[in-house]
Amino acid sequence: MKRNYLFLNIFMSFLIFMSLMAQEDPKVEAQKAYNEGLGLLKKNQTDEAITKLNEAVSKDPDLAVGYYALGIAFKRSKNVSRAEEMYKKAIEKDDKMVNAYNALGNLYTDQQEYDFAINTFTAALNLDPNDEKANFGLGTVYVKKKDYRNGIPYFQSAVEAKVDYSLAWLNLGVCYHETRVFSEAVDAFQMALEYEKRKTSKSDIYLRLGNSLAKLDRNDEAIEAYNNAISTSSKSYIKGAANFGLGEIYKKTGNNQKAIAHFEEASRDRTWKQSALYEINLLKQ
């Protein structure tokens, strides 16, 4: 009996010792603070998240994911310089962290520092050539630079890596349209529509689809796309653009009455007002 009590006491002492050791292990404490910081970040409690994540990296200065999360938090709080610093710190601690490269690349893109963005996304693709976010990010830089031809292969790689990447399909369509490859643009926009789940986001895709179909003189399909843009959008600009596109089709096909009606609708939007009124005046002469 005494032997059993002795064994039990030793075992309990061992558990208490291990528990104390775990509590005192800085890496364990850092991971705990990191997890709490992530939870706060998900709740959009950014300031509290920064405090907790700073605690995490102070306890474990090599915690790369902690610096990465801090970068996200500082970006949300619009502290761009600190966000950049934290993303770079994450890469310093783990130079294989593709997500950190992508986040830094997006930060540079937002700041119109396109050369830095290209170099950063290229570094990410050197680690993982099939990473859809790095390919999308690099393609986006070329779209921002209006270098649509160079954007095409990166958006193609993005949708090959993630076939339901609706925004990549949309941007691929934009690149094809701007380089006047309208049939490929139509295909890309249709894929974007297939995978886009948000109804409000579809209106812009319908508008762009209508523009490409109109360039191919596929007028009935273009009319349907423009009408879908109007019915799914709450934005005055998109409604105006779609009505202007409809006006151009009906003008081209000789239906001046319908053309005028749609140009009048387009004129309700201030962006399209001047162009629409000009077309109305021409048709009424």
Distance CA 46, CA 70 (A): 10
Q: Where are the beta strands (DSSP E) in 128-185?
A: none
Give the pLDDT of the chain (285 residues) as one tens digit per residue.
445 544 445 545 555 545 545 455 788 999 999 999 999 999 999 999 999 999 999 999 999 999 999 999 999 999 999 999 999 999 999 999 999 999 999 999 999 999 999 999 999 999 999 999 999 999 999 999 999 999 999 999 999 999 999 999 999 999 999 999 999 999 999 999 999 999 889 999 999 999 999 999 999 999 999 999 999 999 999 999 999 999 999 999 999 999 999 999 999 999 999 999 999 999 988
Q: Which two tokens stand for residue 155?
A: 């958006």
CA-atom Rg of the chain in angstroms: 28
- In tens, the pLDDT along 39-76 reads 999 999 999 999 999 999 999 999 999 999 999 999 99
Distance CA 235, CA 218 (A): 25
The closest of 213, 215, 233 to 225, measured between CA atoms, is 213
- In tens, the pLDDT along 254-271 reads 999 999 999 999 999 999
Q: Which two tokens stand for residue 64?
A: 């790369």
Query: Can you count the helices (H) and strands (E) in the chain?
Result: 16, 0
Quote the pLDDT of residue 184: 98
Cβ–Cβ under 8 Å, residues 64 and 94? yes
Quote the pLDDT of residue 82: 98
Distance CA 278, CA 260 (A): 11
pTM of the predicted structure, to 2 decimals: 0.87
Coil, helix or strand at residue 44: coil
DSSP 250-278: HHHTT-HHHHHHHHHHHTTSHHHHHHHHH
Distance CA 164, CA 109 (A): 24
Quote the pLDDT of residue 139: 98
Coil, helix or strand at residue 115: helix
Topology (CATH level 3) of domain 198-285:
1.25.40
Block residue for tokens 């998900």: 42
- Angle among Cα 95, 98, 104 to the nearest 5 degrees reads 90
Distance CA 268, CA 11 (A): 81
